[in-house]
């Protein structure tokens, strides 16, 4: 059972009703067919416009120039500072120069391997930088 607008008061009326319950106008078969045709045309026009709007906004969203989908730029690797060794009250390293050198080398190797695992440095770059095979 389709509902059509009354030709006089525009209230929804069943297509099988003999008259409008609100204003009392008698509905003829021609009036019902005309209202059904007008309603169908309005629905098609509204649906077409809605579809075009959805397509337009979809394209705008797809091509809005946002750079979120770019591949991230490669980060550079910076080893830890050698000066991170413990210091005395005078500001000098608290242990021998040799121990300081060994600790610094250990930091560089450990951080370099971590950089290779994270993709910040290639194995070849690690080997060239440290002189140690990965």
53 pLDDT above the threshold of 70: yes
pLDDT tens profile 67-96: 555 555 666 655 555 555 566 666 665 667
Is 0.75 topped by the overall pTM? no
pLDDT tens profile 1-24: 678 888 888 888 887 888 888 888
Backbone phi, then psi, for 69, in 5-degree steps? -90, 5
* Predicted pLDDT of residue 8: 84
| Percentage above 90 pLDDT, the chain | 0
Of 7, 2, 3, which Cα lies nearest the Cα of 24?
Answer: 7
Q: Rounded to an integer, what distance in angstroms lies between the CA atom of residue 3 and that of residue 12?
A: 6
The residue count for the chain: 134
Kind and range of the H or E run holding 5: strand 3-5
Q: Rounded to an integer, what distance in angstroms lies between the CA atom of residue 121 and that of residue 111?
A: 10
- DSSP character at residue 26: B
């Amino acid at each position: 059972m389709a509902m059509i607008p009354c030709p006089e008061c525009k209230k929804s009326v069943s297509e099988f009703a003999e008259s409008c319950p609100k204003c009392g106008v008698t509905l003829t078969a021609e009036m019902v067919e005309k209202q059904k045709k007008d309603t169908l045309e309005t629905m098609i026009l509204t649906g077409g416009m809605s579809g075009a709007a959805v397509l337009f906004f979809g394209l705008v969203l797809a091509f809005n120039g946002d750079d979120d989908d770019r591949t991230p730029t490669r980060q550079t690797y910076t080893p830890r500072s050698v000066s991170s060794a413990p210091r005395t009250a005078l500001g000098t390293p608290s242990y021998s120069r040799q121990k300081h050198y060994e600790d610094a080398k250990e930091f560089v190797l450990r951080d370099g391997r971590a950089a290779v695992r994270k993709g910040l440095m290639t194995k070849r770059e690690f080997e060239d930088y440290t002189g140690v095979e990965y």
